[in-house]
Structure 1
């Protein structure tokens, strides 16, 4: 979907639907005993586990995303830790999108718990956007889950609609229009605006722009100079109703797969290798389905003592095979250990393992050298995932994936969900 447009539009016809405490609410939806209780969704529920999604009740008690579980329990002793159920969240996400598509064709999922509904072409059908928003809320409660709540922002463009959705939580409904935008911005700081973190805020302040109102009224030329890119012009368009620049589905620039490691997993080197191999196969799956090969590979390990191992390399022949990615990373780890005479990099102090791929090339443009033709391997991967897409995940697996140890827990994040809609309803991203 690409509904970006460069024309003035001042009517609030874009809705941003933000599900409140989505993962925790899904758990409470399926387990009535959890309703009304402070809940913390965690990858692992050991004392050093990390809270990835507190419920509305837990947030009211001061529990925040990213807290260590033992710290959260000290703050909220009756907190209920719950392990993640990715398939459950995906199922609810798909139900949510299906409900939104009953109101308009122009629905753009932005993450597992957010979506844009563009009603700009539906103004005759929907004279009141607030009425539509209330109907969407009711439809979600009726057809997705009666314990699920959302905040909806309404504005002339997607950015302002997202901003509006953050202003009243939970279960909010807020409109930003030319009539009230200055009043809204006057109450905010730069980092309250979606997309402005401390680095961008510092850059703007160094250019003499200290508040959202000053950002709104700065000239496009000044903003381009301060931001040192076309991003400055985009900020002018967003805050002055000059066009839509956030309604396009972005192509992949980078893919990452990251896992936090539990205390039990750290005790087994074989399990740590299984995690690394699983991450590489996750990236393989995404590249196969997007028909991409990577030309740059990254790997990193974080440790509990604060240290970090990082590696990055450019490959001469584009890669897609997950086992090849895994073998390459392991070989470079071995070389590092020998060169520096250090202990194994995958050890009992590991806190997190990550793999990333970038610099993509379309599959039909990959050329192998004279003595290495991997077309049969490429065809095998395509066939493997085609069968799994049709008959369900893990219908076929490689022999290298069959291990006696405890399987690695599947995770799901809040980020891109392109694969979820481009490929199949159950696909993880």
Structure 2
């Protein structure tokens, strides 16, 4: 065994059950806001028995389960308990990667590579979370030759599972899975595979490496070929390849001016995160979804930057092409990131803007968020609160 992977079961719902014991054992769903037009972001296992899952529209969920308990997400609490869980796991074994708000990966070494020892470690982690964090929390743990298969194993038995995939188990132990059960196969990749005559995991294993390179469009196919066979190649996870925020607009902001103001707020949050990870951005995109379900999107490429002022200029450039309508949701994304130690110095940098942005970060970190901010976001300070994507863990001060 080379890897141990921990996946918390119904994490957001578990936090709510821990904070409110009266909810335990009852159908519960965590939502971004108490509105039928939004979607469930987490469901307890009693709720899942009614077919409610992440992405189910709240209005539909209420019809599926009339007694469903709806809770508006308490994201600061989710971050706090995430940190407690990380501490509990690290008291048992060092963590190699925190891959999301509810998942971590541990590379095993020495005696822990032994199957019996790895299983004992997995049980120790389960017990530590239960004892030190709370009895509402359970996790599924996967043990496998590589991180990819260890993650897959966590989904094979929920809740509170412990699944091992030994080299001799490959590939037949995976034949019962669907293509979409494998990391990296989403709707578009599944469509490509189907067009190539691949509809099952068994058929996927029959492909040679060159065919997989062709379907994936490059080296990704070769990596996938090796991952599903247990080769211990490090996954190219980089939680910070992009930074994005999105927000469903409150009714009073469902107009061009309101969407612009919320977009500025999201941009400021993204810029602060960018500097916190010592990175620079080369691409900014803004997307708006309208109430009639149509979309508008535009983007701009730029020289590497990380200061809020330059990003605001780029945002304004994009917004000049905004399509009139009734906006419902806005998202801001920073992509093509470059870390400090990977970039080339530019004579075109505005050092005053960079210094001022970092000074604002320092003051907000020391004295609390919103200690100092740009006037353009004043009206919307509380209109775009902290939200958590499963693939990232926000910082308290951002």
For residue 91 of structure 2, the aligned residue among 95, 98, 102 is 102
Correspondence for 1:8: none
After TM superposition, give the deviation of residue 260 of structure 1 in Å.
1.7
Is contact 1:275–1:408 with CA below 8 Å preserved after alignment?
yes
Is contact 1:24–1:41 with CA below 8 Å preserved after alignment?
yes
| 1:297 pairs with 2:272 | no
Is contact 1:160–1:239 with CA below 8 Å preserved after alignment?
yes
Correspondence for 1:233: 222
2-side partners of 1:323 and 1:91: how far apart?
A: 31
The number of residue pairs the alignment matches comes to 396
Q: What secondary structure, in the 3-state scheme, does the structure 1 residue paired with 2:61 have?
A: helix
2-side partners of 1:405 and 1:362: how far apart?
A: 29
2-side partners of 1:109 and 1:131: how far apart?
A: 21
| 1:260 pairs with 2:248 | yes
Correspondence for 1:340: none
2-side partners of 1:232 and 1:270: how far apart?
A: 45
Correspondence for 2:360: 384
2-side partners of 1:281 and 1:147: how far apart?
A: 36
Correspondence for 1:69: 58
Correspondence for 1:51: 40
Is contact 2:2–2:113 with CA below 8 Å preserved after alignment?
no
Deviations 1:75-102 (A, max 9, x none): 1111111111111111111111111112
2-side partners of 1:238 and 1:249: how far apart?
A: 14
Deviates more, 1:143-152 or 1:217-226: 217-226
Correspondence for 1:220: 209
For residue 369 of structure 2, the aligned residue among 388, 393, 399 is 393
Q: How does 1:60-139 map to 2 (within 5 A)?
A: 60-123=49-112, 127-139=116-128
1-side partners of 2:305 and 2:216: how far apart?
A: 35
2-side partners of 1:270 and 1:31: how far apart?
A: 39
| 1:41 pairs with 2:30 | yes
Q: What secondary structure, in the 3-state scheme, does the structure 1 residue paired with 2:156 have?
A: coil
2-side partners of 1:124 and 1:204: how far apart?
A: 34
Is contact 1:274–1:408 with CA below 8 Å preserved after alignment?
no
Is contact 2:95–2:104 with CA below 8 Å preserved after alignment?
no
Deviates more, 1:291-300 or 1:163-172: 291-300
| 1:308 pairs with 2:291 | no
Correspondence for 1:7: none
Gap change, CA 1:78 and 1:195, over 3 Å in 2: same
| 1:325 pairs with 2:311 | yes
Q: TM-score, normalised on structure 1?
A: 0.84
For residue 280 of structure 1, the aligned residue among 254, 264, 267 is 267
Higher relative contact order (CA 8 A, sep 6+): 1
After TM superposition, give the deviation of residue 250 of structure 1 in Å.
2.0
1-side partners of 2:179 and 2:22: how far apart?
A: 40
Is contact 1:271–1:405 with CA below 8 Å preserved after alignment?
no
Correspondence for 1:5: none
Gap change, CA 1:207 and 1:70, over 3 Å in 2: closer
Q: What secondary structure, in the 3-state scheme, does the structure 1 residue paired with 2:41 have?
A: strand
2-side partners of 1:261 and 1:81: how far apart?
A: 20
Deviations 1:154-208 (A, max 9, x none): 1111111111100111111111113333332221222222221232223234344
1-side partners of 2:233 and 2:322: how far apart?
A: 48
Deviations 1:385-413 (A, max 9, x none): 12333444334333443338854332111
| 1:353 pairs with 2:323 | no
Is contact 1:14–1:158 with CA below 8 Å preserved after alignment?
yes
Deviates more, 1:145-154 or 1:214-223: 214-223
Is contact 1:294–1:358 with CA below 8 Å preserved after alignment?
yes
Structure 2 gaps, min length 5: none
Is contact 2:364–2:397 with CA below 8 Å preserved after alignment?
no
Is contact 1:280–1:323 with CA below 8 Å preserved after alignment?
no
After TM superposition, give the deviation of residue 381 of structure 1 in Å.
1.3
Is contact 2:286–2:318 with CA below 8 Å preserved after alignment?
no
Deviates more, 1:180-189 or 1:38-47: 180-189
Is contact 2:284–2:333 with CA below 8 Å preserved after alignment?
yes
Q: What secondary structure, in the 3-state scheme, does the structure 2 residue paired with 1:201 have?
A: helix
Q: What secondary structure, in the 3-state scheme, does the structure 2 residue paired with 1:51 have?
A: coil
Q: How does 1:161-240 map to 2 (within 5 A)?
A: 161-240=150-229
Q: What secondary structure, in the 3-state scheme, does the structure 2 residue paired with 1:403 have?
A: helix
Is contact 1:18–1:152 with CA below 8 Å preserved after alignment?
yes
2-side partners of 1:159 and 1:360: how far apart?
A: 24
Gap change, CA 1:279 and 1:124, over 3 Å in 2: closer
Is contact 1:292–1:361 with CA below 8 Å preserved after alignment?
yes
